[in-house]
Amino acid sequence: MKGKLGMSKWSTKINVRTVSSDPLVKLINIIVGIIEFLCGIRRTGTLSEEQDFLVVNTNTKTLWFFLKSEDLTKIAIRKISAVKVSTQKNWIIFRSTVITVYVAGVTDKVAYEVKTPYAEIKQKAEEWLK
């Protein structure tokens, strides 16, 4: 998927709530999402690749349109020491593709559920480690 204005080489949507393939957690995420939507709260996020960086951008809007918070994490690709890509399946219909990026000097865990097929995110992870 191409990014806006050609700035990013690749991007995908990410889940900004709890990451899990557990049906109970997915159900809770859906319920929380519905309640937040009815209250006018929208949470969105993207993971994108720029020239030499990975960019994780998340934001929260209130009353559906007004920006409440925005968080941008920019990771130098050359600083990535490891990438874990996994697909977790529970029952037949609950599946999560999760990417975890380990970065030198960063103590926060960078792990997100991506809305991309496993093969595509695996290929991207291999490119970032070259």
pLDDT tens sequence across 60-110: 998 888 889 898 888 888 888 888 888 877 767 777 888 888 888 777 777
Convert the pLDDT of each residue in 24-49 to its tens digit.
Answer: 877 888 898 899 889 998 888 999 98
Domain extent, residue 38, equals 4-128
CATH number for the domain including 18?
Answer: 2.30.29
> Cβ(56)–Cβ(47) under 8 Å?
yes
> Is residue 1 scored above 70 in pLDDT?
no
**Dist CA 82 CA 66 (whole Å):** 37
CB 9 within 8 A of CB 51: yes
- Asked if 97 and 116 count as a contact pair (C-beta separation under 8 A), the reply is yes
pTM: 0.74
Q: 33: which residues sit within 8 A by CB, 6+ positions away?
A: 17
Q: How far apart are the first and last CA of the chain?
A: 21
C-alpha 106/C-alpha 98 separation (Å) is 19
